[in-house]
Amino acid sequence: MAERYPAAHMNAFVIRGGGPLRGEVRVGGAKNSALKLLAAALLAPGRTVLRNVPDIADITTMTAVVEHLGCRVWRDGDRLTVEVPEEVGDETPAHLVGRLRASIIVLGPLLARRGRVRVATPGGCNLGNRAIDLHLSGLAQMGAEIIYGADHVEARVERLAGADIDLPFASVGATENILLAAVTAEGTTTVGNAAREPEIADLAALLSAMGADIHGAGTSEITVRGVGRLSPAHHTVLGDRIEAGTYAVAAAVTRGSVAVDGFDPAHLRLVLAKLRVVGARVDERPGGVTVSAEDGLRSADIVTLPYPGFPTDLQPQFLLLLTQAAGTSMLTENVFDGRFSIVDELVRLGADIAVEGHHAVVRGPRTLRGASVRAPDLRAGAALVLAGLVAEGETVVTDAAHVDRGYADIAARLRALGGDVRRIDVVATAV
Ligand code: EPZ
């Protein structure tokens, strides 16, 4: 298979399909909250302390972003201390934003602190603007002047003013950027059709601990009354529901039994219900679940939607699961255009999946056979590692760095559950 990968640095997972996973795993703090909490710390000079921060690549990148803005950050286990100066920077460089689109979340805090911000917009200009147009229009409604450059965007404002903002789509990032701008704006801001993901409520909890006046976080109507100044605070990041859902699928797809702890099962209500529809047994308890399955998984239909709908970040993992279920399943992806990059890779392993627009039709069960596949992105990469656990023989998942962005020690954790998963890091040379 080497011919698919020209001479290059190849970091990969090597997995040998085997038996059921058994044991227990504890997930870390939510990546998609911790990244924003780091940005929120910029709002208050002094030391903010975050606990239960996952040790993953995206956090390393976001740490580099806030250090670039003048902060000092140090880690002690899962505690991250961010020391914010009286004056923070106002620019994030392309090489950091290119690695982490989510770093666009500094727009709100820097506009609030400095009155001006310049952020590189990764990828094509239109794509970049489209993916942040709701962020920018929200900030513009609060008085910011937006200037578009070929590869960056600038925003300027004397003083942010509260506004009544209705989001055409319940965008997670736009909701968060507006909250981060509104907490010290002049007057009151309301956000209609706000995202309701649990990570939004987690961000609001830190902001409130810092002195913000926020009501309705976690619902689709949020009200923020601007306050004069915020203070640093301490906060424990909520458990990562997507990491938890990934290990839950690993238990079901390998017909094993795994206790997954460190998160709130109430944040995975629909996902756990779907696992039961597919035929897994799911026992819930405070702080975790135990998921087990024998043979005889059944097909199911899945539609991804903003929370509390089925999370798009567990779509690739469920696509894999459905390849092992008897019957025909339909999975509809409504949140991201074309988030079916995993399909070609699963088909290489022997899956029967046909994509029609934003629908994927899966026929199963299909025996998967090990092959060399490529992780196209974070969640699809994690799903391909799980695919290797059920495929006969050896599966190599290259571009493994994608998976490191959101999963700490996934190879070690899967090995602890009985999976044959190794990580290799080689410089492949032309033969
Ligand atoms: C967050 O992305 C998460 N990332 C994503 O997780 C997650 O899939 C997504 O929310 C939905 O839950 C982080 O929190 C870092 P959106 P975000 O704004 O904020 C379009 C993972 O694997 N849109 O709700 O970017 C956008 O293109 C990642 O952990 C606009 O058009 O999600 C997409 O189609 C993947 N204009 C849809 O809305 C905008 O201004 C959802 O985007 C903003 C978004």
Q: Which amino acid is at 383?
A: A
Its pTM stands at 0.96
Closest ligand 1 atom to Cα of 169:
38
Q: Is residue 3 part of a domain?
A: no
134 lines ligand 1 (CB under 6 A): yes
405 lines ligand 1 (CB under 6 A): no
Measured in angstroms, how far is the CA atom of residue 171 from the centroid of ligand 1?
6
Q: Which of 183, 208, 236 is the last residue of a domain?
A: 236
Q: Is residue 159 part of a domain?
A: yes
Number of domains in the chain: 2
Give the DSSP letter of residue 326: B
**In a shared domain, residues 22 and 38:** no
Instruction: Report whether 360 contacts 299 (CB < 8 A).
Output: no
Q: Which amino acid is at 168?
A: P
**In a shared domain, residues 223 and 320:** no
Q: Is residue 60 part of a domain?
A: yes
Measured in angstroms, how far is the CA atom of residue 15 from the centroid of ligand 1?
30
What's the CATH number where 354 sits? 3.65.10.10
What was the pLDDT predicted at 254?
Answer: 98
Burial class (CB in 10 A: 0-12, 13-18, 19+), 253: buried
From 420, 402, 213, select the one nearest 411 (Cα to Cα): 420
Closest ligand 1 atom to Cα of 102:
15
Do the bridges between strand 257-261 and strand 22-26 make them parallel or antiparallel, or are there none, so unpaired? Answer: parallel
Residue spans of the chain under pLDDT 70: 1-9, 122-130, 427-431
pLDDT tens by residue, 115-134: 999 998 764 333 334 589 99
Measured in angstroms, how far is the CA atom of residue 135 from the centroid of ligand 1?
11
For 113-167, what is the HEC assignment?
Answer: HHCEEEEECCCCHHHHHHHHHHHHHHHHHCCCEEEECCCEEEEECCCCECCEEEC
What was the pLDDT predicted at 427?
Answer: 67
Instruction: Report whether 63 contacts 134 (CB < 8 A).
Output: no
Instruction: Report whether 297 contacts 269 (CB < 8 A).
Output: no
**In a shared domain, residues 319 and 177:** no
- The best mutation among 31, 65, 134, 172 to test binding of ligand 1, ranked by most ligand atoms within 8 Å of the C-beta, falls on 172
The three-point CA angle 103-107-111 to 5° equals 150
Measured in angstroms, how far is the CA atom of residue 172 from the centroid of ligand 1?
6
- For ligand 1, atom 6, which residue shows the shortest CA distance? 313
**In a shared domain, residues 199 and 121:** yes
Instruction: Report whether 115 contacts 89 (CB < 8 A).
Output: no
Domain holding 257, by residue range, is: 8-28+239-428
**In a shared domain, residues 172 and 305:** no
How many C-alpha atoms does 427 have within 13 Å on its Cβ side?
Answer: 0
Looking at 125, 277, 401, 428, which residue is catalytic?
125
Instruction: Report whether 379 contacts 242 (CB < 8 A).
Output: yes
- For ligand 1, atom 30, which residue shows the shortest CA distance? 131
What was the pLDDT predicted at 127?
Answer: 36
Q: What share of the chain is helix, strand, coil (3-state, %, to 5)?
A: 35, 30, 35
Contact residues for 62 (Cβ-Cβ < 8 A; gap 6+)? 34, 35, 38, 39, 100, 102, 103
Q: Is residue 70 part of a domain?
A: yes
Measured CA to CA, the distance from residue 29 to residue 37 in angstroms comes to 11
**In a shared domain, residues 212 and 324:** no
Measured in angstroms, how far is the CA atom of residue 193 from the centroid of ligand 1?
15
What was the pLDDT predicted at 210?
Answer: 98
From 99, 17, 19, 23, select the one nearest 56 (Cα to Cα): 99
Burial class (CB in 10 A: 0-12, 13-18, 19+), 269: middle
From 390, 45, 43, 355, select the one nearest 203 (Cα to Cα): 43
**In a shared domain, residues 12 and 51:** no
What was the pLDDT predicted at 30?
Answer: 98
pLDDT tens by residue, 199-218: 999 999 999 999 999 999 99
What was the pLDDT predicted at 145?
Answer: 98
**In a shared domain, residues 283 and 183:** no
**In a shared domain, residues 381 and 416:** yes
Give the pair of three-digit tokens for residue 414: 């899967």
What was the pLDDT predicted at 278?
Answer: 98
Bridge partners of 282?
291
Instruction: Report whether 138 contacts 168 (CB < 8 A).
Output: no
**In a shared domain, residues 132 and 276:** no
Q: Which of 177, 204, 236 is the last residue of a domain?
A: 236
The Cα-based distances of 214 to 80, 179, 200 in angstroms read 24, 9, 11
Q: Is residue 68 part of a domain?
A: yes
Measured CA to CA, the distance from residue 213 to residue 227 in angstroms comes to 7
What was the pLDDT predicted at 428?
Answer: 58
Q: Is residue 2 part of a domain?
A: no
Q: Which of 236, 255, 289 is the last residue of a domain?
A: 236
**In a shared domain, residues 210 and 258:** no
Q: Is residue 1 part of a domain?
A: no
What was the pLDDT predicted at 431?
Answer: 54
**In a shared domain, residues 54 and 140:** yes
Closest ligand 1 atom to Cα of 134:
40
Question: Is residue 71 flagged as an active site residue?
Answer: no
